């Protein structure tokens, strides 16, 4: 039942995104070909652009649902993107929209962007990622959430201090660096192999284990250390098979 629900959720998200992008393209083409480019046509074009933008923000959620990973985060992405689009739609089609509405659009949008970044990076993550990539992932998630908070504070408090925005811009550059470094470091990681081996242990049952390492010697050394730390003595190590990991 749970798997069926996940598949249904994935189909709904991806179908909605596909439909919204298609509608965006058709509306934009219609306005460009037959519109008179008045105020109404401008609002229509703005609406179609927003529809495409917020649909793309929600796209990583579909992949998370597809892989049954971080469903709460995926639902958060869809929710924030939906709220942001709804508020932006009201702002575009309301004459003399209140300032608070614009601030609400900014708040929902920046947090949607933050959730989308975290989702996109989560999709890329692999169990074989080195610890440095895992730390960068955590740091980038915290940083982008902090940036969204700073942007929200700036909008609602109407901050006009140039130093504040320079700090925000510098942190945004740092966030981009953290995002880019993750796939780069993951690709730069030495190719490893999962070595399956049979350990003959003195005064204990033989042990079957699988160790990920660059070569069999390194894997055997890890396995021996691990077993001997439990107080047993390894008499012999036999190779059982290998499986490639990494990139």
CB 103 within 8 A of CB 157: no
Q: What is the pLDDT of residue 77?
A: 93
Q: What is the pLDDT of residue 217?
A: 78
DSSP the chain: -HHHHHHHHHHHHHHHHHHHHHHHHHHHHHHHHH---SHHHHHHHHHHHHHHHHHHHHHHHHHHHHTT--HHHHHHHHHHHHHHHHHHHHHHHSTT--HHHHHHHHHHHHHHHHHHHHHHHHHH--TT--HHHHHHHHHHHHHHHHHHHHHHHHHHHT---HHHHHHHHHHHHHHHHHHHHHHHHHHHSPPEEEEEEEEEEETS--EEEEEEESSHHHHHHHHHHHHHTTT-EEEEEEEEEEEEE--
Q: What is the pLDDT of residue 37?
A: 65
Strand 207-213: give its sheet, edge to edge.
Answer: 207-213, 192-202, 233-245
Residue 120: burial class (beta carbons within 10 Å; 0-12, 13-18, 19+)? middle
Residues of the chain with confidence (pLDDT) below 70: 1-14, 16-17, 20, 24, 27-28, 31-32, 34-38, 189-192, 204, 214, 241-247
Q: What is the pLDDT of residue 42?
A: 77
Give the whole-angstrom CA distance, residue 232 versus residue 228: 5
Give the whole-angstrom CA distance, residue 167 versus residue 144: 14
Which residues lie below 8 Å from residue 169, measured CB to CB, with a gap of 6+?
Answer: none
CB 132 within 8 A of CB 187: no
CB 44 within 8 A of CB 31: yes
Q: What is the pLDDT of residue 247?
A: 41
**79-128 pLDDT per residue, tens:** 999 999 999 999 998 888 899 999 999 999 999 999 999 999 998 887 77
Give the whole-angstrom CA distance, residue 167 versus residue 170: 5
């Amino acid at each position: 039942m749970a798997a069926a629900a996940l598949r249904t959720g994935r189909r709904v998200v991806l179908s909605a995104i596909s439909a919204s992008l298609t509608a965006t393209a058709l509306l934009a083409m219609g306005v460009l070909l037959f519109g008179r480019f008045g105020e109404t046509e401008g609002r229509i074009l703005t609406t179609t652009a927003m529809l495409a933008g917020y649909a793309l923000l929600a796209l990583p959620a579909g992949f998370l649902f597809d892989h049954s990973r971080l469903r709460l985060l995926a639902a958060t992405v869809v929710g924030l993107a939906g709220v942001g689009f709804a508020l932006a739609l009201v702002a575009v089609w309301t004459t003399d929209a209140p300032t608070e509405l614009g601030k609400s659009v900014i708040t929902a949008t920046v947090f949607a962007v933050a959730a989308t970044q975290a989702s996109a990076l989560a999709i890329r993550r692999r169990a074989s990622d080195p610890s440095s990539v895992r730390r960068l992932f955590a740091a980038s998630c915290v940083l982008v959430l902090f940036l969204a908070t700073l942007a929200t504070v700036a909008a609602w408090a109407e901050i006009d201090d140039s130093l504040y925005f320079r700090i925000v811009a510098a942190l945004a550059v740092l966030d981009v660096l953290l995002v880019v470094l993750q796939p780069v470091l993951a690709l730069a990681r030495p190719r490893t192999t999962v070595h399956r081996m049979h350990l003959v242990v003195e005064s204990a049952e033989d042990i079957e284990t699988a160790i990920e390492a660059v070569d069999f010697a390194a894997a055997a050394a890890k396995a021996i250390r691990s077993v001997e730390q439990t107080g047993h003595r390894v008499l012999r190590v036999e190779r059982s098979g290998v499986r490639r990991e990494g990139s």
